[in-house]
Structure 1
Amino acid sequence: MEFQTAFEVFIGLTLLAAGLLTLAFRNRQNPFIGVRIGYTYMSKEAWRKANTAGGLFFVGFSLFLVIMAIAGASIGAFLIVLIVGVLAGVGVSVAVAKRTYELEELSEEAPEKPTGERIEANIKPYLLV
């Protein structure tokens, strides 16, 4: 096996391991493995969904990279696909986490309901006219 092909397969298998670890640890929050952004730390459901989406994406993407490497893709094409794919995977994970967290926040009732009172505001002291 040529060095370039071995390198590309190694990168693909490394991403496969990262995707599988992300899937394995998706059910409990931790500071080491998985999608670790603000949304996922504030919501267990966002953590689970973001890590499931990210893990599945990276498992599939890594298999695509290994197939590309075995098929003999040039290093330039491989690196471009790698960069675009990693950015897409991160984007998908962040979007899923954000959407899940925001939907979770919207489903909670507000602490106080508006009373319907009209609030009078005097802004004349703040106008320079």
Structure 2
Amino acid sequence: MKRTTSEGGFTLIELIMVIVILGILAVAVMGKYQNLQEEAKEAVIKGIAAELTSASKANFAKCAVNATSADCVQITSTTSCNSTAVKGLLTEDGGASFSNNNVGCTGGAGSAGNCTLTKDGHSAKARVFCTN
């Protein structure tokens, strides 16, 4: 009786083809995730601007209830965006730099102006609400 043996496994060509396909997939994935760091930096500055806008709205509400309260930060149209008053509304400025222009809200209490924040080459605008 003669026995026939059949060897199982992959040929060298099949293994090389799998490696080539994995390489192509890796290149495709790298293109998608290559710009994530810049997108993250942009998201950080937009988050800081959104926090400033929300804090400014909350500050306006506090001042509307009691303008003499210690919690009320007075912000006028001539308040600088780079001032301690505006920066003090944030819990953390994240290293962002603030534009030196005035808030510039027209129309008195409740009106809003823009402050531009910049960090790592990205910028975002925050709406700052005047209290008087």
Q: TM-score, normalised by structure 1?
A: 0.32
Structure with the larger helix share: 1
Structure with the larger strand share: 2
